[in-house]
Amino acid sequence: MQSFPMFIKMAGRKVVIVGGGEQAAQKTRLMLKTEAEIIVAAPELDDELAGLLAKGRISHVDGAISADLFEDTAMVLIGTGCPAVDASIHAVAKAAGALVNVVDQPHLCDATTPSIVDRDPVVVAIGTEGTAPVLGRRIKTQIEQMLDPQIGTFAALAGRLRGAVAHRIPRENRREFWRWTFNDAPWTTFKRGAQREAAEMLKTAVAEGEYAAAQGSICLVGAGPGARDLLTLRAVERLQEADVIFYDRLVDPEVLELARRDAERVYVGKVVGAHALPQDRINQLIVAEALKGRRVVRLKSGDPTIFGRMTEELDAAREAGIETEVVPGITAATAAAAQMQVSLTERNKYDSVTFATGAFAEDADPRDLLRHIKSGTRVVFYMCVASAEKLAHSIIEEGLAERVGITIASDVSNPRAEFIETSVGDLVETLQTASISGKALLIISPDTDLAMAKPVGTLLRSV
């Protein structure tokens, strides 16, 4: 290890940044995260730095640079944009005994600036000793996904209570108290949005010296349309915290790989034409696990609030007095539009978009679905492949076929995704030819000759 990682106190200390352009601005942005006094030395400042000066965020020195400027500094960062000038200023700063970092010249650096994951006061720094900054940024991205955005705020709350804990909680019990704080009820309560409740829970536990193990909970998590990198950071975190995960057929196996390895996984989906478990039985299962004190994740493809039977599961949980949370996901319609690079709404053409389900009862009249198809509205039908023939027949009977285009979106967000334009009359044959029998949307665009324009570089193709 050529460099020793450590954190330097910056509050109230002087940092000098030499340069007035983009390189200096980058270093200034970094230092603004600290409580240091920032001095920028340069003949002229770019617009960003000038704006910071006007707001009083930095000080400016525009005269000759001497060793006096660098005395009693926490750090000197040099980035004028000219390597020769940087090297000469480096010599002056070193003569003043300063700790120096020179942009893009590792051999002149006493210290390097790491990639930082900032959850103040929780800070993670990643360094590669200047050998692979791109790798450092990749690791930063992975850690960003791991750490809850609220962990810093919660850590600050806990920090404000350290004195009270030291005064009221016996020394032999403090480690267990802090384990409970960060792993059980206070943290789980805080991150689901009940910050005030979590704070009161902690204060009561400190005052009374008693605290209980976390209660069970149920979190409905949107797994997105398929690709696991489309999950939200919160969804990934809930998967990694779960004791048991209930998932369905449409959840991609790669998404489950993001879960804790020791989490129990229970399949409650359905095969085409038959439910593996009825909904009321699923409700009973997730409630029973939560009542055991376990953290339950009900993983649903897409977004739980869109055709996900979310209400029934939440009602069952609330009736049992179980804490609940819903983590939204990217729904298939928006994922399809993004992959095709097509807007679901278009100015002066489609001023609204409707999400509808084509799954209806055997005795239902498919013509009821036609109420969604009207000028100015693009309609996305979920779960409509099985009823496509009935839908197409109804559109033809109503005389709408000539002014309606259809795009079939299959396996959205996956590498095997297909987007096929077809007419109402050819819809059923197109589905059969392309062997599409399940995981697909029908995107209906009234008043157009084609279902959608063909953007360059997408998977859209015509049949």
Whether the Cβ atoms of residue 20 and residue 47 lie closer than 8 Å to each other? no
CA separation for the pair 101, 120 (Å, rounded): 23
CA separation for the pair 421, 405 (Å, rounded): 8
Q: CA–CA distance from 128 to each of 48, 111, 123, 133, 376 (Å)?
A: 29, 12, 17, 7, 54
Q: Which of 130, 122, 140 is nearest to 7 (CA)?
A: 122
244 strand-pairing partners: 264, 296
Pair of tokens at residue 424: 């109402």
In the annotation, is 27 catalytic?
no
460 strand-pairing partners: 419
Catalytic residue among 86, 148, 243, 248: 248
CA separation for the pair 426, 17 (Å, rounded): 67
CA separation for the pair 373, 369 (Å, rounded): 8
In the annotation, is 270 catalytic?
yes
Catalytic residue among 94, 140, 270, 454: 270
Cis amide linkage into residue 455, ω under 30° from 0: no
Pairing between β-strand 323-327 and β-strand 274-275 as defined by DSSP bridges: unpaired
Active-site positions read 248, 270
